[in-house]
C-alpha cells in the first residue's frame, strides 16, 4: 500500500495533543469524538469534562453498574439510583454501590428512584427485614453523609417509607449540615391509615443553614418546626399528607403559619395528599390554614371529591395558588359531586378557583366529571394565563354546548381537547403498582420544578 493510501492512525495521536483537541470541542462534539477509538474514548473520562455531571444508574442493569464502577464513580457529582425496592438482588447490590458512593468525594448529590412502597407495612416488618435495610442502606448512607470533605449537598430518599424513618439519624450524621441544599424526607405509606410517625429534632434542621428545598410528611410538622426553619433560605417546601392522628399529632396552628408566611413571602408550598382516604374529608378542618402560602395542590387517589375544601382554598389562597391537580381512578363515579353539594356550593369549585385565584396557571382533573359549560367558564375567566387545562371526563348529560372545544382553544390560545381514555396513563385505572409509579413521578416532578 502506498503511503498516500494508508488510513490515518488516529489512536496514535499523543495524549497531550488529544487533550488540547478535546478542550476546543463543545460537550456534544466531544462525546461524538470519543467514539473514534478506544484511546479517544479514554481521553473523554477526565474530571474537567464532567463538572456538575449527573449520572442515572439502573441497578438492574449489570452493564451500567459495571460502567459506573469502572468509569463514572470518580466523575459524577450527582447520582440517581433507579432500583426495585421489592427486589432482594437489587437491595444487595445497593449495599456495595452505596459504600462505593460514600468513598467517592466527587459525588455530593444522591437521589433514589423506585416505584413501589414496599412488601409489608413498616409496623409488621420482621427484624431481618429491618436489619437488611440498615445494613444495605442506612449504614453506608450515614458514612456518605458524615463526610466533611466534599460534603453532601442533596439527599433524596425517593419517598421510600422505610428509609424516611431514619431521617433523624441521617440529619444527625451530617458532617457539614451547613452545605446541604436539598433534603427529601416525605414518603408514600404502605398503609396510609396506620403507620409510625417520624420524630424529628428541629434543631438538626436549623444547622442546615443553606437548605433551599425541603420535603416532609405532614405528621412531622409542628409549630416549633415551622418556627425553627424560618432561619433557613427555603425557596420550596413540599408537604405530603397521608393520615391524621389527633392523639399523636396536634394540628399546626394558624399563628405558626402566619409567622411562616410573613417570613417566606415568595416560597413555593406544595401540598400533596397521597391515598389520604380519611384525611381528604377533614382537609379544610385539620390541615388547611388560611395563612398557609399554598402555591400547588395535589390530591392523588383519595377516592373522594371534597368540593368544600376546594372552595375553601379558592377563598383563602387567591393570592398564592398557581396549580391544582385532582387525580383519581376514572371508574370511581362516586367522585362526581351529588346534586345537594352542587346546590350548596352553587358553582363548580374549579370554576371558583379560576375566578378567585389570580395566579392560577394549571388545572388538571382526572376521575371527576366536568360540565362542558364549566370548562368554557374556566377558559373565559383565565384566558391565556391558564397554561394547562387537562381533563378526561366530560358530563354531556346537561344542555348541549356547540363548539365548546373551539371556544376553549381560542380563549387559551392553544389547541384544546379533553384527554381520551386511550391516551391516559394506565396508572389511572386499576393497577396499584402503576399507580404508585405515577405518584412517585408526581412527587419527583414537583421537586424538579
The Cα–Cα gap between 43 and 15 comes to: 7
pLDDT value of residue 1: 46
pLDDT tens by residue, 84-120: 888 889 988 999 999 999 999 999 999 999 877 654 4
pTM for the model: 0.88
pLDDT band at 254 (very low <50, low <70, confident <90, very high): very high
pLDDT value of residue 133: 83
Least-confidence region, from 123-132, 216-225, 351-360, 412-421: 123-132
396-406: average pLDDT: 79
pLDDT band at 417 (very low <50, low <70, confident <90, very high): very high
Q: What is the 3-state secondary structure (H, E, C) of the chain?
A: CCHHHCCCCHHHCCHHHHHHHHHHCCHHHHHHHCCCCHHHHHHHCCHHHCCCCEEEEECCCHHHHHHHHHHHCCCCCEEEEECCCCCHHHHHHHHHHHHHHHCCCCCCEEEEECCCCCCCCHHHCCHHHHHHHHHHHHHHHHHHHCCCCCCCCEEECCCEHHHHCCHHHHHHHCCCHHHCCEEECCCECCCCCCCCCCCCCHHHHHCCCCCCEEEEEHHHCCHHHHHHHHHCCCCEEEEEECCCCCCCCCCCCHHHHHHHHHHCCCCEEEEEEECCCCHHHHHHHHHCCCCCCCCEEEEECCCCCCHHHHHHHHHHCCCCCCEEEEECCCCCHHHCCCHHHHHHHCCCHHHHHHHHCCCCCEEEEECCCECHHHHHHHHHHHHHHCCEEEECCECCCCCCCCCHHHHHHHHHCCCCCCCCHHHCCHHHCCCHHHHHHHHHHHHHHHHHC
pLDDT value of residue 230: 96
pLDDT band at 333 (very low <50, low <70, confident <90, very high): very low
pLDDT of 339 over the 60 cut: no
CB 110 within 8 A of CB 79: yes
Q: Cα Rg for the chain, rounded, in angstroms?
A: 25
pLDDT value of residue 128: 65
pLDDT tens by residue, 33-44: 777 787 777 777
The Cα–Cα gap between 246 and 424 comes to: 37
277-288: average pLDDT: 93
pLDDT band at 343 (very low <50, low <70, confident <90, very high): very low
More confident residue, 315 or 31: 315
289-306: average pLDDT: 95
pLDDT of 412 over the 70 cut: yes
The Cα–Cα gap between 259 and 268 comes to: 16
270-281: average pLDDT: 94
Partners of 325 in the β-ladder? 298, 364
Percent of the chain surpassing pLDDT 90 = 61
pLDDT tens by residue, 350-392: 999 999 999 999 999 998 999 999 999 999 999 999 999 999 9
136-147: average pLDDT: 96
More confident residue, 31 or 240: 240
More confident residue, 149 or 248: 149
Amino acid at each position: 500500500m502506498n503511503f498516500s493510501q494508508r488510513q490515518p492512525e488516529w489512536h496514535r495521536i499523543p495524549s497531550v495533543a488529544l487533550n488540547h483537541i478535546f478542550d476546543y470541542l463543545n460537550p456534544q462534539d466531544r462525546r461524538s469524538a470519543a467514539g473514534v477509538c478506544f484511546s479517544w474514548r479514554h481521553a473523554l473520562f477526565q474530571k474537567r469534562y464532567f463538572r456538575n455531571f449527573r449520572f442515572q444508574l439502573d441497578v438492574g442493569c449489570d452493564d451500567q453498574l459495571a460502567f459506573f464502577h469502572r468509569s463514572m464513580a470518580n466523575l459524577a457529582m450527582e447520582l440517581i439510583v433507579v432500583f426495585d425496592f421489592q427486589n432482594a438482588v437489587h437491595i444487595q447490590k445497593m449495599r456495595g454501590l452505596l459504600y462505593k458512593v460514600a468513598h467517592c468525594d466527587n459525588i455530593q448529590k444522591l437521589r433514589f428512584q423506585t416505584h413501589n412502597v414496599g412488601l409489608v407495612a413498616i409496623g409488621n416488618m420482621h427484624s431481618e427485614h429491618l436489619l437488611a435495610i440498615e445494613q444495605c442502606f442506612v449504614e453506608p448512607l450515614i458514612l456518605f453523609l458524615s463526610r466533611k470533605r466534599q460534603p453532601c449537598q442533596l439527599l433524596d430518599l425517593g419517598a421510600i417509607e422505610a428509609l424516611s424513618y431514619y431521617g433523624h439519624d441521617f440529619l444527625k450524621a451530617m458532617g457539614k449540615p451547613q452545605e446541604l441544599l436539598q433534603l427529601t424526607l416525605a414518603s408514600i405509606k404502605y398503609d396510609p391509615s396506620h403507620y409510625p410517625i417520624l420524630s424529628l429534632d428541629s434543631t438538626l434542621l436549623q444547622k442546615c443553614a443553606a437548605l433551599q428545598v425541603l420535603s416532609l410528611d405532614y405528621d412531622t410538622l409542628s409549630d416549633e418546626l415551622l418556627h425553627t426553619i424560618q432561619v433557613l433560605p427555603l425557596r420550596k417546601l413540599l408537604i405530603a399528607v397521608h393520615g391524621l392522628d389527633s392523639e399523636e399529632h396536634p394540628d399546626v396552628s394558624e399563628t405558626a403559619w402566619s409567622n411562616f408566611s410573613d417570613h417566606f413571602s415568595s416560597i413555593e408550598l406544595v401540598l400533596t395528599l397521597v391515598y389520604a382516604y380519611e384525611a381528604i374529608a377533614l382537609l379544610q378542618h385539620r390541615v388547611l390554614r388560611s395563612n398557609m402560602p399554598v402555591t400547588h395542590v395535589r390530591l392523588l387517589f383519595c377516592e373522594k371529591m371534597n368540593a368544600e375544601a376546594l372552595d375553601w382554598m379558592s377563598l383563602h389562597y387567591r393570592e398564592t395558588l398557581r396549580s391544582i391537580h385532582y387525580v383519581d381512578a376514572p371508574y370511581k363515579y362516586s367522585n362526581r359531586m351529588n346534586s345537594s353539594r352542587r346546590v350548596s356550593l352553587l358553582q363548580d369549585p374549579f370554576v371558583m378557583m379560576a375566578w378567585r385565584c389570580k395566579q392560577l396557571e394549571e388545572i388538571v382533573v382526572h376521575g371527576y366529571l366536568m360540565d362542558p359549560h364549566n370548562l368554557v367558564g374556566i377558559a373565559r375567566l383565565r384566558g391565556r394565563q391558564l397554561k394547562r387545562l387537562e381533563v378526561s371526563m366530560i358530563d354531556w348529560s346537561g344542555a348541549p354546548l356547540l363548539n365548546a372545544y373551539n371556544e376553549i382553544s381560542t380563549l387559551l390560545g392553544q389547541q384544546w381537547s379533553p384527554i381520551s381514555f386511550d391516551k391516559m396513563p394506565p396508572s389511572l385505572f386499576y393497577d396499584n403498582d402503576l399507580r404508585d409509579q405515577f405518584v412517585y413521578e408526581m412527587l419527583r416532578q414537583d421537586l424538579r420544578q
